[in-house]
Amino acid sequence: MSAVKEIINNRQAFHEYHILSKVEAGAVLVGTEVKSIMAGRIQLKDSYVSIKDGEVWLLNAHISPYSHGNRQNHEPLRPRKLLLHRREIEKLEKETIQKGMTLVVTSIYWKNGRIKFEIGVAKGKKLYDKRESEMRKTVDRETRQQLKERLR
C-alpha cells in the first residue's frame, strides 16, 4: 500500500491553465532541499517545466534555504532535473510542441519515502475562461449552502 501525503498543491496553476493530462516525476534534489520541501518551504508561483536535450527541468521554483543548513546549503532558484522515462519525455515533448501548450507543476507529494512532482500538460486560460470558472465555483458554493440550509 502506497502512502501519499501531499506537501503542496499549486492552486494558481489550476486558475491560470486548463490541465489536460498529468504525469508523476521524481527529482534530483540535495539533502537540504528535501528538508526544506518537507517543511513546506517551496514556492511554485512562477515555476515551469522545460524540456532541453531530452531532459526535463524544473525552472524558477523557489526552495528556501534550510534553516539548519550550513555552508553546503542549496541555491534557492537553481534548475532541478526531473526524472521521467524516455517514452514519457517524448510524449510530453510532442504535446508541448502543439500551440499554446506548456508544462507546469500541479502538486508535490511524498510517496513511499520519495518526493514526487505532478506535472500537468496545460493550455493557458483566457480572461473569460477564468471568469467562467470563478462563476461556476460561486454557483456551486451557493447551492451547497442552500442545500445545507434546507437540511436543517
Q: What is the pLDDT, as a whole number, of residue 1?
A: 47
The answer to whether residue 133 is domain-embedded is no
Domain ranges, residue 97:
4-126
The answer to whether residue 99 is domain-embedded is yes
118-149 in b/e form (b: 16+ CB < 10 A) is: bbbbbeebeeeeeeeeeeeeeeeeeeeeeeee
pLDDT digit string, tens, across residues 87-135: 988 888 888 887 778 888 888 888 888 888 999 888 877 777 778 888 8
Distance from C-alpha of 137 to C-alpha of 139, rounded to nearest angstrom = 6
Residue 2 has pLDDT above 70, yes or no: no
Select the more confidently predicted residue: 110 or 75.
110
How large a percentage of the chain has pLDDT more than 90? 2
Contact, 106 vs 10, CB < 8 A?
A: yes
The arithmetic mean of pLDDT across residues 14-40, rounded, is 83
Residue 129 backbone class (left: φ over 0; alpha: ψ -120 to 50; beta: rest): alpha
CATH number of residue 104's parent domain: 2.40.280.10
Query: What's the pTM value of the predicted model, to 2 decimals?
Result: 0.75
The answer to whether residue 143 is domain-embedded is no
Give the pLDDT band of residue 85 (cuts 50, 70, 90).
Answer: very high
In total, how many domains does the chain have? 1
Residue type, 64: S
Q: How many residues are listed for the chain in this entry? A: 152
The answer to whether residue 145 is domain-embedded is no
